Structures are given as C-alpha cells and as structure tokens.
Amino acid sequence: IYTLGILGGGQLAQMLSLAAIPLGVRCVVLEPDPQAPARLSAEHLQAAYTDAAGLDQLAQCDAVTLEFENVPTEATAALQGRVPLRPSPAVLHLSKHRAREKAALVEAGAEVAPYVVIEHAADLSGALKTVGGTGILKTSELGYDGKGQARIGSAAELRAAWKEMGGVPCVLEGLVPFVREVSLGVARGQDGTISYGPLVENVHAGGILRRSIFPAASSAAPGGVGTEQHARRIARSVAEAWDVVGLITLEFFELPGGELLVNEVAPRVHNSGHLTQDGGGVSQFEAAVRAALGLPLQDFGPLLPCGMVNILGWEEGDEPDWDGLECLRGTRLHWYHKANRPGRKLGHVNVVGESREEVQSRMDAVERLLGTRRD
Ligand code: ATP
Ligand code: MG
Ligand code: MG
C-alpha cells in the first residue's frame, strides 16, 4: 500500500482520494478546516499548511501532491528533499503567479493573450492600448473563479480598477475574441512518459465554469491539424519545458482561425476534468495519483460522450430539485459537503449519453432541475 500526501482537503482532494483507493493508495490530507470535504475519504491532519508536525507526517508519504496552487511556499520548502513533490515547487512557483506563468509559457513556445505586467502606477500608461483597447485586469496571485478580475474599457477604468485592487501586482490582458474555450490535462512521469487527458469544451459565465462537454466539436487548427492534436503539442511543450512530473491542466482560448492561446495552467486536476469520473476510462484523478507515485500511465479520459454541470450555491428559496436530479437517467451527482453560499462550487453532476446531442439535452435537463435554466 502506497500513501499519497495531499496539501489541501477540498473537493479535489476528496475526489483524488476516492480514486486512489482501488489502486491500493491511501491518502493523507493536510488541511486546517475541520469541515473540509476530503475528511470523509482521506486521513485528515487538521492543521495549518505550515504546521511542522503535519508536514513531518506528509514527509513520511511516498509522494506529496496538492489540490490548490496557493500552498504557502514555507510548506513546500519544508517538504523539499524529504519526499517527492509532484508537481514540483518550481512548477508551483510559476503557476501561482500569472505574470511569471505567462512569461514561462511564452518561453516554452506557447502563445498567450497580449498582456502587460502592472506593478507600478507608471505601468498603467499606454497599457490598454498595448493589449488592444479592451482588456481584463487580473491580480497576479490568489484569483480563482473570476475573483480578482475586472473588465476594462478605458484608461480611466484601468486606473480605478487597479486602485480598487489595492495596487497589488496585476496583469492586464487583452480581451480575447475566442470562439470557444477548451482544456486539456497532461500527466508526465519521472521518466518523461507523457499521457494526455481528453480535449474538453468549457462554458463559463461570470468567470465561473458552468459546464463542460466531451468530445469537443472538431475544428481545424492552423497547419491542418485538429484542435486536439494542436492542444496536445502545446501541452507537451509546456510539460517538457517546465519539467513537470505529475499532472497539470491547460486552459485555452480558441481563436476563429483555430489558433490556441493558453489562458492559464493549473498544476493539478481541474474542474473541467470532472467528467472523466463517469465516462469510462481512467479519470483525471486516477491519472494524477498514478503520475504522482510513479505508477504506469495511459491516456486518461472518457470512452463515451459525457458532460458535467457545476452546482453553484443558490439564493434562499432557489434550492435545486434534489430528488429530480438523483432520478435523472444518465446522470450522477457528486457532492462536496460544503455549506451553501451563493456562487460557491458545491458539487457537480456528470452526464453520459450516446452522442454529444444526447449529453447536451441531458445537461439542459440537469440545469432545469438546478433552477439555472428556465426554458
Ligand atoms: P479559474 O482558475 O477558476 O479557472 P480564474 O479566476 O483564474 O478562474 P480565468 O481563467 O483567468 O480566471 O478567467 C475566467 C474566465 O473569464 C475565462 O475562462 C474566460 O471565460 C474569461 N476570460 C478570462 N480572461 C479573458 C480574456 N483575456 N479574454 C476573454 N475572456 C477572458
Ligand atoms: Mg485560475
Ligand atoms: Mg481559469
């Protein structure tokens, strides 16, 4: 029996540890919140991420991975050299900071949206013009689900938004006229073996992922290769350039001509990969566990058309129709045991079907029962 340490005990840790059990892997999470989701499926060390006794226990594991990128540097520094950290602190250092991440993506040969790093008031002048006249200001650190972001349409708005964010380091990105968003997970073993996840198509609203579907509709990338091949090439370049061992997920914007810009990289399993739990095949969670522990890898992902709908926290009086959801054929509810707060990710529903169309109409039915679709 292997043991895998996980920094963070949220829903991703819950699902990693559930996927680990059939592989003969026991998970141990370090997580300060006594009510965190993974307490049900893993051994829970309830302590701060920098707690010496907790870190000592993680250091006894066969490998340590993480479920969020904002793990304090002290925690990874305390583990380094004592236990394999996958992905490595170096990858984490890049992916927790937007400006560093973008520079490292460009260096790896990937394309990103036009951007300007904003660190001083002087960086503001001309910045909006440089990125094309409309943009999104994003804090370099700590943002998720569209938090720490503002749409910018004028130089005055840019100044006001940066002030509103407290003048912290930011990047201003040009607003990308994408035709769709896609994502791809890639796992890399210590020997350099690469395995890919499915190319998934994602729909966001208000900066939050609402639904994902597999397979992504095919479209042509430049050079005549399909979008999936194009995305795989970029993912491989990044995984190799960053010397990733473990699993990372790339989010892309697809442009009208089929070009792919990398939006951001998560050094971990990703919300858009949750549909891999129920489409047959190896899930992203199993792939991440295998990659962290050096177990054999195979391409992961669904064998059937499938999709995922996120369950976001509801306003009072708008509670979803749970009985309806649990009885809907071709769907499975995954619940994170978190308290309701409007807009918070509380669970998801995975959907399978014979075709993309069937999956899509089942996802519509799920959204009606969640109360997020009225037609
Ligand atoms: P998460 O980590 O939860 O994915 P985040 O807070 O890091 O979210 P981003 O991924 O940067 O946020 O942005 C969230 C969404 O906002 C994107 O998936 C996309 O729909 C939209 N968006 C972000 N940046 C741009 C951009 N430059 N142009 C157009 N749309 C954008
Ligand atoms: Mg992000
Ligand atoms: Mg994102």
d(CA 363, CA 278): 14
Residue positions in the annotated binding site? 98, 138, 143-149, 173-176, 181, 204, 263-264
Task: Evaluate: CB of 131 within 6 angstroms of ligand 1.
Answer: no
Quick: pLDDT tens for 185-197. 999 999 999 999 9
Closest CA to 91 of 110, 69, 106: 69
- If pLDDT is split at 50, 70 and 90, which confidence band does 274 have? very high
pLDDT for position 375: 78
Find the mean pLDDT for residues 326-345. 95
**Does one domain contain both 168 and 187?**
no
Say whether the ipTM exceeds 0.85: yes
Please check whether residue 26 lies inside any domain of the structure.
Answer: yes
∠ CA 258-353-67, rounded to 5°: 65
pLDDT for position 56: 98
**Does one domain contain both 357 and 213?**
yes
**Does one domain contain both 7 and 122?**
no
Find the mean pLDDT for residues 33-61. 97
The mean pLDDT of the chain is: 96
**Does one domain contain both 276 and 224?**
yes
Q: Which domain holds residue 67?
A: 2-85
Which of 102 and 206 is assigned the larger pLDDT? Answer: 102
Closest CA to 297 of 138, 190, 206: 190
Strand partners, 186: 196, 248
Q: Domain holding 124: CATH number? A: 3.30.1490.20
Residue 251 alpha carbon to ligand 3 centre in Å: 6
Residue 331 alpha carbon to ligand 3 centre in Å: 25
pLDDT for position 143: 86
Q: Which of 174, 202, 223 is the last residue of a domain?
A: 174
Task: Evaluate: CB of 255 within 6 angstroms of ligand 1.
Answer: no
205: which 2 tokens? 């609203």
**Host H or E run for residue 170:** strand 170-174
Please check whether residue 6 lies inside any domain of the structure.
Answer: yes
Counted domains in the chain: 3
Whole-prediction pTM value? 0.96
Please check whether residue 54 lies inside any domain of the structure.
Answer: yes
Q: Atom 3 of ligand 1 has which residue's CA nearest to it?
A: 145
**Does one domain contain both 362 and 233?**
yes
Q: What percent of the chain has pLDDT over 70?
A: 100
Residue 99 alpha carbon to ligand 3 centre in Å: 14
pLDDT for position 146: 83
Please check whether residue 76 lies inside any domain of the structure.
Answer: yes
**Does one domain contain both 167 and 296?**
no
Residue positions in the annotated binding site for ATP? 98, 138, 143-149, 173-176, 181, 204, 263-264
Q: Residue 217 burial by CB count (10 A; 0-12/13-18/19+): exposed, middle or buried?
A: exposed
pLDDT for position 133: 96
Residue 156 alpha carbon to ligand 3 centre in Å: 26
